Chain A
Amino acid sequence: MRLGWQSILATLALSACAGKAPPPAATAGGAPTEIVAAPSDPWPSQYKPYPGVTTVIRGATIYDGAGRKYAPGMVRIENGKVAEIGGSVAIPTGATVIDAPGQYVTAGIIDIHSHLGAYATPGVEAHSDGNEATSPARPEVWAEHSVWPQDPGFSRAIAGGITALHVLPGSANLFGGRGTTLKPVYARSVQEMKFPGAPYSLKMACGENPKRVYGAKNQMPQTRMGNIAYARQAWADAAGYKRRWDDYTRRAKAGTAKPTDAPRRELAGDTLMGVLSGDILVQNHCYRADEMANVIAMSHEFGYKVTAFHHAVESYKIADMLKAEGICSAMWADWYGFKMESFDGIRENIALVDNAGACAIVHSDDANGIQRLNQEAAKAMAAGRRMGMALAPEHVWTWLAINPARGLGIDKRTGSLEVGKAADLVLWNADPLSVQGRAMKVWIDGALMYDWGDPKRRATSDFELGQPGVGEPK
Chain B
Amino acid sequence: MKRLSFLVAQIATTLLAAPVPAATIAITGGTVLTGVGEESIAGGTVIIRDGRIVAVGAGLPVPAGATIIDARGKTVTPGIIAGMSDLGIDEVGGVRETNDSGARTAPWSAALDLSTAINGNSVHIPVGRMGGVTRAVVGPGAESDIFGGQGVVITLAQGADPVMRPRAFQFVELGENGAGLAGGSRPAAWASLTSALAEAARYAANPAGYDRGLSRDSLAKAPDIAALVPVLRGTMPLVVHAERASDIVQVLGLKARYPALRPILIGAREAWLVADRIAAAGVPVITLSLFDLPDDFETLASSRSNVGLLQAAGVTVAMGLFGGDSAAQPRNLPYFAGNAVAQAAVPGATGLTRGQALATITANPARIFGLTDLGTLSVGKRGDVVIWDGDPLDVTGAPIAVLIDGVAQPMRSRQTDLAERYKSLGRSDLPLQYPR
Per DSSP, chain B at the interface is loop
Would you call A317 an interface residue if the criterion is a C-beta within 8 Å of the partner chain's C-beta atoms? yes
Interface size of A in residues (CB-CB distance below 8 Å): 57
- In the complex, A378→B339 CA distance in Å? 13
Which single member of A346, A372, A467, A473 contacts B300 (CB below 8 Å)?
A467
Contact in complex: B425, A320 (CB < 8 Å): yes
Q: Provide 28 A-B residue pairs closer than 8 Å at the C-beta atoms, listed in order of the A residue.
A: A122-B296, A123-B295, A208-B94, A316-B422, A318-B425, A335-B325, A336-B415, A338-B92, A338-B93, A338-B328, A339-B93, A340-B94, A346-B418, A352-B419, A367-B293, A371-B292, A372-B290, A372-B339, A381-B396, A430-B342, A435-B341, A435-B393, A436-B341, A438-B345, A452-B347, A463-B294, A467-B294, A472-B303
Would you call A468 an interface residue if the criterion is a C-beta within 8 Å of the partner chain's C-beta atoms? yes
Q: Shortest distance in angstroms between A383's beta carbon and chain B's nearest beta carbon?
A: 8
Interface residues of A in 135-173 (CB under 8 A from B): 152-153, 156
Per DSSP, chain A at the interface is loop
Additional A-B contact list (14), CB under 8 Å, known A337-B327, A346-B419, A472-B301: A121-B293, A121-B294, A122-B300, A317-B425, A335-B325, A344-B418, A345-B415, A347-B419, A368-B290, A372-B290, A381-B396, A434-B394, A435-B335, A468-B245
Contact in complex: B273, A473 (CB < 8 Å): no
A residues with CB within 8 A of B: 121-124, 152-153, 156, 208, 316-320, 334-340, 343-348, 352, 356, 367-368, 371-372, 375, 378-379, 381-382, 386-387, 429-430, 433-438, 452-453, 463-464, 467-469, 472-474
Contacts of B346 in A (CB 8 A): 438, 452, 473
Would you call B305 an interface residue if the criterion is a C-beta within 8 Å of the partner chain's C-beta atoms? yes
Which single member of A121, A156, A382 contacts B398 (CB below 8 Å)?
A382
Interface residues of B in 334-357 (CB under 8 A from A): 335, 338-339, 341-342, 345-349
Contacts of B303 in A (CB 8 A): 469, 472, 474
Which single member of A347, A468, A472 contacts B415 (CB below 8 Å)?
A347
Contact in complex: A339, B296 (CB < 8 Å): no
Which single member of A340, A429, A437, A467 contacts B95 (CB below 8 Å)?
A340
Contacts of A152 in B (CB 8 A): 293-294
Which single member of B297, B393, B425 contacts A124 (CB below 8 Å)?
B297
Contact in complex: B297, A434 (CB < 8 Å): no
- In the complex, A438→B422 CA distance in Å? 35
Which single member of A156, A346, A473 contacts B349 (CB below 8 Å)?
A473
Q: Shortest distance in angstroms between A98's beta carbon and chain B's nearest beta carbon?
A: 16
- In the complex, A100→B425 CA distance in Å? 44
B residues with CB within 8 A of A: 91-95, 123-124, 245, 270, 273, 290, 292-297, 299-305, 324-325, 327-329, 331-332, 335, 338-339, 341-342, 345-349, 390-391, 393-398, 415, 418-419, 422-423, 425
Contacts of B124 in A (CB 8 A): 337
10 A-B pairs with the lowest CB-CB distances in the bound complex, closest first: A469-B301, A339-B94, A435-B338, A468-B301, A474-B292, A337-B328, A382-B396, A338-B93, A453-B347, A473-B348
Q: Shortest distance in angstroms between A110's beta carbon and chain B's nearest beta carbon?
A: 20
- In the complex, A452→B342 CA distance in Å? 13
Contacts of B393 in A (CB 8 A): 435
Q: Shortest distance in angstroms between A355's beta carbon and chain B's nearest beta carbon?
A: 9
- In the complex, A319→B299 CA distance in Å? 41
Contact in complex: B325, A379 (CB < 8 Å): no
Contact in complex: A123, B296 (CB < 8 Å): yes
- In the complex, A343→B393 CA distance in Å? 27
- In the complex, A468→B270 CA distance in Å? 9
Contact in complex: B293, A368 (CB < 8 Å): yes
Contact in complex: A434, B300 (CB < 8 Å): no
Which single member of B95, B273, B297, B422 contacts A122 (CB below 8 Å)?
B297
Contact in complex: B347, A473 (CB < 8 Å): yes
Contacts of B270 in A (CB 8 A): 468-469
- In the complex, A382→B332 CA distance in Å? 14
Contacts of A469 in B (CB 8 A): 270, 273, 300-303
Contacts of A430 in B (CB 8 A): 342, 345
Q: Shortest distance in angstroms between B249's beta carbon and chain A's nearest beta carbon?
A: 13
- In the complex, A403→B304 CA distance in Å? 30
Contacts of B422 in A (CB 8 A): 316-317, 352
- In the complex, A430→B270 CA distance in Å? 29
Contact in complex: A124, B296 (CB < 8 Å): yes
- In the complex, A318→B432 CA distance in Å? 12
Contacts of A463 in B (CB 8 A): 294
Give the nearest-CB partner of B95 in chain A.
Answer: A340
Give the nearest-CB partner of A339 in chain B.
Answer: B94
Contacts of A436 in B (CB 8 A): 338, 341-342, 345, 394
- In the complex, A438→B341 CA distance in Å? 11
Give the nearest-CB partner of B329 in chain A.
Answer: A334
Contact in complex: A379, B395 (CB < 8 Å): yes
Contacts of A352 in B (CB 8 A): 419, 422-423
Contacts of B324 in A (CB 8 A): 338
- In the complex, A351→B396 CA distance in Å? 14
- In the complex, A121→B299 CA distance in Å? 10
Contacts of B301 in A (CB 8 A): 467-469, 472
Give the nearest-CB partner of B340 in chain A.
Answer: A435
Contact in complex: B325, A338 (CB < 8 Å): yes
Q: Shortest distance in angstroms between B235's beta carbon and chain A's nearest beta carbon?
A: 35
Contacts of B305 in A (CB 8 A): 472-474
Q: Shortest distance in angstroms between B217's beta carbon and chain A's nearest beta carbon?
A: 29
Contacts of A318 in B (CB 8 A): 425
Q: Shortest distance in angstroms between A465's beta carbon and chain B's nearest beta carbon?
A: 11
Give the nearest-CB partner of B393 in chain A.
Answer: A435
- In the complex, A405→B415 CA distance in Å? 30
Contact in complex: A375, B398 (CB < 8 Å): no
Which single member of A340, A375, A452 contacts B395 (CB below 8 Å)?
A375
- In the complex, A335→B127 CA distance in Å? 12
Contacts of A464 in B (CB 8 A): 294, 300
- In the complex, A338→B91 CA distance in Å? 8
Contacts of B347 in A (CB 8 A): 452-453, 473
Which single member of A338, A356, A437, A467 contacts B425 (CB below 8 Å)?
A356
Contacts of B345 in A (CB 8 A): 429-430, 436, 438
Contacts of A336 in B (CB 8 A): 328, 415
- In the complex, A317→B335 CA distance in Å? 27
Contact in complex: A438, B94 (CB < 8 Å): no
- In the complex, A318→B301 CA distance in Å? 44
Give the nearest-CB partner of A317 in chain B.
Answer: B422
- In the complex, A416→B391 CA distance in Å? 30
- In the complex, A379→B332 CA distance in Å? 10
Contacts of B304 in A (CB 8 A): 474
Give the nearest-CB partner of B426 in chain A.
Answer: A320
- In the complex, A344→B305 CA distance in Å? 35
Contacts of B92 in A (CB 8 A): 337-340, 343
Contacts of A435 in B (CB 8 A): 335, 338-339, 341-342, 393-395
Q: Shortest distance in angstroms between A251's beta carbon and chain B's nearest beta carbon?
A: 50
Contact in complex: B425, A122 (CB < 8 Å): no
Give the nearest-CB partner of B90 in chain A.
Answer: A337
Contacts of B299 in A (CB 8 A): 122
Contacts of B300 in A (CB 8 A): 122, 464, 467-469
Q: Shortest distance in angstroms between A377's beta carbon and chain B's nearest beta carbon?
A: 9
Contact in complex: B293, A153 (CB < 8 Å): yes
- In the complex, A352→B335 CA distance in Å? 23
Q: Shortest distance in angstroms between A207's beta carbon and chain B's nearest beta carbon?
A: 11
Contact in complex: B95, A339 (CB < 8 Å): yes
Which single member of A356, A381, A387, A437 contacts B419 (CB below 8 Å)?
A387
- In the complex, A348→B292 CA distance in Å? 28
